[in-house]
Structure 1
Amino acid sequence: MQHHRFLRWSLIVFGFALLPACSSYAPPAALVGMSREALVAQMGHPDTERKVDGGSRLEFPRGPLGKQTWFVYFDATGRAIRAEQVLTEQNFNRVDVGMAQDEVLKLLGRPSDTQALGRERGVVWSYRYDNYVCNWFQIELSQQQQVRSAGYSPSPECERRDDSF
């Protein structure tokens, strides 16, 4: 009985120890004014760095299955000025047919999943994101690296599987 009580309390303590790790997907709350080096020390190396508006932007895909991507913007002196989580329906709805692949990357960052289409017709990029209906956003890109179509569909990890034989 004593062993079970110890095991139960150990699991509870371990669970609470993981809570800060779960909340660490986002940049630090005191981000404004932070140096690039200090941010990278806290968040790890970014996936991509881009030059934007006289400064730069670091891109951090995060979370289980890549459901968050944080863009952190820096001014010309290398100090953080703001951060935003870009995997949102508002940003997905900005993707239009004919948009260049590079424009999509600048808007959303890298996809969480990529699949080649048969007969060299292009690729499908899939973006998982936090939502209540278990959708992901998919973009079909042509061989010319332009958006052919885009829309929402059920994410495969949420589809019901029939295991009966």
Structure 2
Amino acid sequence: MRLHARHTALALLTALALAGLSACDQERVAKLEEGVASESDVRQQFGEPTRTVERADGSKVLEYPRQPEGTTNYVIEIGPDGKMSSLRQLLQPANFAKVQPGMSDLEVRQLLGQPAKTHRFDLKPDETIWDWRFQDGQERKVFSVTFGKDKTVIATATQDDPRERDAGR
């Protein structure tokens, strides 16, 4: 009984922490206006990006993944004028639907951002699976992409987040 209570308490604390992170992100997003906010404003709200891509035209793409524990991946574009031109949350059903067999791992990475987890199985050494955690209404889910040995998509799947099932035990 004690182990179950401890596990339930841990699940509750994790859920509260994630809700807090989500609320903080919503407040950060609300403070940034496209065409007005500068790169400095973005960094003040979101901190240092995990990845920055500088384009030939002087624009930049700043990545702010909330994986592996969160359910969002933000991409913020800064135009050549130094102003925020877009702020997108990538982990959306419309983006998952765009992932098709034959796409490269780079194309998927650009579409969905950093995965929460990458894994391989000994019995299928030529395959790699990337997972992203996301929120579907009130349900936490995992979107998975399986890549073949040539690093192109061979399959996708969506399932309930196993951590949610485990927390209910």
Residues 68 and 115, structure 2, Cα contact 8 Å, conserved in 1: no
Mind listing any 5+ residue stretches in structure 2 that lack a counterpart? Answer: 1-18
Q: Scaled by the length of structure 1, what TM-score is found?
A: 0.76
Residues 25 and 62, structure 1, Cα contact 8 Å, conserved in 2: no
Asked if residue 154 in structure 1 is aligned to residue 160 in structure 2, the reply is yes
Residues 38 and 83, structure 2, Cα contact 8 Å, conserved in 1: yes
Structure 2 distance, partners of 1:79, 1:39, is 9
Which residue of structure 2 aligns with residue 125 of structure 1? 130
- RMSD of aligned C-alpha atoms? 2.5
Query: Which letter maps to 2:62?
Result: L
Residues 67 and 114, structure 2, Cα contact 8 Å, conserved in 1: no
The SS at the match of 1:96 is coil
Query: Which letter maps to 1:150?
Result: T
Structure 1: which 4+ aligned runs deviate by more than 3 Å?
19-22, 51-54, 160-163
Which residue of structure 1 aligns with residue 112 of structure 2? 108
Which residue of structure 1 aligns with residue 84 of structure 2? 80
Larger relative CO (CA 8 A, sep 6+): 1 or 2?
2
Residues 54 and 61, structure 2, Cα contact 8 Å, conserved in 1: yes
Q: How many equivalent residue pairs?
A: 145
Which residue of structure 1 aligns with residue 29 of structure 2? 28
Structure 1 distance, partners of 2:45, 2:131, is 28
Query: Which letter maps to 1:41?
Result: Q
Structure 1 distance, partners of 2:80, 2:167, is 51
Max radius of gyration: which structure?
Answer: 1
C-alpha distance 110-78 of structure 1, shift in aligned 2 (>3 A): same
Structure 2 distance, partners of 1:136, 1:21, is 19
